Amino acid sequence: MDTTALNQSPQDLEVNMKHASPDKPVPIAVARGDGIGPEIMDAVLFLLDQAEARIDARPIEIGEQVYHRGVTAGIEPSAWETVRETRVILKAPITTPRGKGYKSLNVTLRKSLGLFANVRPCPTFHPFIHTVHPGMDVVIIRENEEDTYGGIEHRQTTEVTQCLKLITAPGSEKIARYAFEFARRNGRRKVTCFVKDNIMKLTDGLFHEVFDRVADEYPDIESDAMIIDIATAKLAKQPDLFDVVVLPNLYGDIVSDVAAEISGSVGICGSANVGERYAMFEAVHGSAPDIAGKGIANPSGLLHGAILMLDHIGQPDVAERLHNAWLKTIEDGVLTADVAPRDASTEAVSTEAFARAVANRLGETPQQLTAARHDGDGSAPAITVSPTAKPSKQLVGVDVFLDWDAHERNPNVLGRELEALVGGALKLKMITNRGTKVYPDGQPETFCTDHWRCRFTVPADGVVQHAEVIALLAALEQAGFDFIKTEHLYTFDGERGYSLGQGE
């Protein structure tokens, strides 16, 4: 995949869409997707046309067909070119082929284009679409580029695989700032951060710490942080406790689907993927292969995504007309099968009939549902990241991971063999298995796999040289150990930059 063109931004790149001439159509890259994608995209393009959206839709081909041509990233160089020219994508869901050779195109697009914020409003349509939480009005803002979604995975031993979770200071700051800017622009009162920093003290701890620092700069917006497990339970039961929720990528992926589903259905929620230069708008749901080609898919999620796009490109007038026509259609009981009442009081309509019903209501406003107002600024806020002072970094040890499956996996045997290694300054401090200390003084009950983390430091916690690490690895090699990776132990301005083993 050649993404270099994306970084060679044209000179006018900073020109925001909202400053474009109001009459000049805004070029949009349009991907029709897989499964139900083409059906719902046709419906949405029809509605954009009927609503007189000032856009110039330029098709790009991505997804299944491209994968099957042998392009493992699912996107051709010509599509990247169109994306570079338009800088805005309206995308129907695509199918990621199963199998280890394929990368998720959704993740590739988000990461390659720097779409760091995934914004998912979860509105309700009570009493017209069933929800257990009629008053719910939550926006989920998910970090979109980091965490385990780098997809950096390795199988290291017969039994053990790993996935690298990367949380960065600038990435955390961008998403926290985006969440507060979003709250401020949209008249929201509170931003809540969900993390698991009671366990992941360094990664989630950093996300939390940066969130708190950014929150201090927005005294007009309430802020709090909660542990993700109880927070998600509370969100499912009492969503009125929440307003804007910001969270790392993986949690955001899961929690946003939960929030969308309890607000009514994942089938009716759209999402905006926003970066500094590019933006992509889509439905929250996937390509629904089980109903593809039947003409019964709900186009609402993608329509919602298109409405968010209209705000972003500076056409809130069109967004408002389309939004209100959509609400009026739902209010009039015109519903597709996925959200129609189960008691058969209303007959479900097709994708096409739903789109026609929305078109027929352009210019109308709902009577019971709250009419939509699109007078805010939907363009991407300029997000700046504060420079960080470089701390003093010192190497104080190394964790060497071994694939070791001898002596009935007795950690005491391994410990003694490692302590007997000669010829280096680094000495064994402890061994853990799956993070739990098993040597010295481990518990005999601890289940052990073939994957051992062996921590070496120099006496009196002194400073280590790279040459000493190399000497240690040479000694391990000499003694016949299969070392599979190393992680260096650093301090930053004297503060420990690594976690302790459970029980250390």
260 binds ligand NAI (CB under 6 A): no
Contact stretch for ligand NAI (CB under 6 A) within 49-57, 297-305, 404-412, 458-466: 297-305
Report how far residue 470's alpha carbon sits from residue 461's, in angstroms, rounded to the nearest whole number. 18
269 binds ligand NAI (CB under 6 A): no
Q: Is residue 423 helix, strand or coil?
A: coil
Position among 146, 282, 331, 399 found at the interface with ligand NAI (CB under 6 A): 282
* Residue among 122, 92, 370, 118 nearest 265 (CA): 122
38 binds ligand NAI (CB under 6 A): no
CB 325 within 8 A of CB 361: yes
267 binds ligand NAI (CB under 6 A): yes
297 binds ligand NAI (CB under 6 A): yes
445 binds ligand NAI (CB under 6 A): no
CA distances to 43, 195, 247, 368, 496 from 127, rounded to whole Å, are 25, 33, 30, 9, 54
291 binds ligand NAI (CB under 6 A): yes
Task: For the CB of residue 28, give the shortest distance to ligand NAI in the complex, in Å.
Answer: 17
Q: Where are the alpha helices (DSSP H) in 165-273?
A: 169-185, 203-215, 228-237, 249-263
Q: Where are the alpha helices (DSSP H) in 10-123?
A: 37-50, 64-68, 77-86, 105-112
Query: What Rg do the C-alpha atoms of the chain give, in angstroms?
Result: 26
**Beta bridge mates, 56:** 27
309 binds ligand NAI (CB under 6 A): no
CB 24 within 8 A of CB 52: no
Structure tokens at 211: 């969130």
Q: How many residues does the chain have?
A: 504
Task: For the CB of residue 290, give the shortest distance to ligand NAI in the complex, in Å.
Answer: 5
In the complex with ligand NAI, which residue's Cβ is closer, 94 or 122? Answer: 94
Task: For the CB of residue 73, give the shortest distance to ligand NAI in the complex, in Å.
Answer: 14
Task: For the CB of residue 281, give the shortest distance to ligand NAI in the complex, in Å.
Answer: 11
Q: Is residue 393 helix, strand or coil?
A: strand
Report how far residue 404's alpha carbon sits from residue 117's, in angstroms, rounded to the nearest whole number. 42
Report how far residue 309's alpha carbon sits from residue 413's, in angstroms, rounded to the nearest whole number. 62
CB atoms under 10 Å from CB of 131, counted, come to 20
Cα 329–Cα 334–Cα 339 angle in degrees, nearest 5: 110
264 binds ligand NAI (CB under 6 A): no
Task: For the CB of residue 110, give the shortest distance to ligand NAI in the complex, in Å.
Answer: 10
220 binds ligand NAI (CB under 6 A): no
93 binds ligand NAI (CB under 6 A): yes
Looking at residue 457, the DSSP 8-state letter turns out to be E
305 binds ligand NAI (CB under 6 A): no
Task: For the CB of residue 1, give the shortest distance to ligand NAI in the complex, in Å.
Answer: 18
Contact stretch for ligand NAI (CB under 6 A) within 185-193, 230-238, 294-302, 447-455: 294-302
Task: For the CB of residue 175, give the shortest distance to ligand NAI in the complex, in Å.
Answer: 19
Contact stretch for ligand NAI (CB under 6 A) within 82-90, 92-100, 393-401, 434-442: 92-100
In the complex with ligand NAI, which residue's Cβ is closer, 131 or 432? Answer: 131
In the complex with ligand NAI, which residue's Cβ is closer, 287 or 457? Answer: 287
Closest-approach residue to ligand NAI (CB): 286
Phi and psi at residue 428, to the nearest 5°? -65, 130
239 binds ligand NAI (CB under 6 A): no
Position among 66, 94, 175, 179 found at the interface with ligand NAI (CB under 6 A): 94
Structure tokens at 185: 């622009």
287 binds ligand NAI (CB under 6 A): yes
* Residue among 281, 310, 284 nearest 91 (CA): 281
Task: For the CB of residue 94, give the shortest distance to ligand NAI in the complex, in Å.
Answer: 5
Q: What is the distance, to the nearest Å, from the Cα of residue 335 to the centroid of all Cα atoms in its chain?
A: 30
Task: For the CB of residue 494, give the shortest distance to ligand NAI in the complex, in Å.
Answer: 45
74 binds ligand NAI (CB under 6 A): no
Contact positions toward ligand NAI, by CB under 6 A?
A: 36, 93-96, 106, 267, 282, 285-291, 297-298, 301, 338
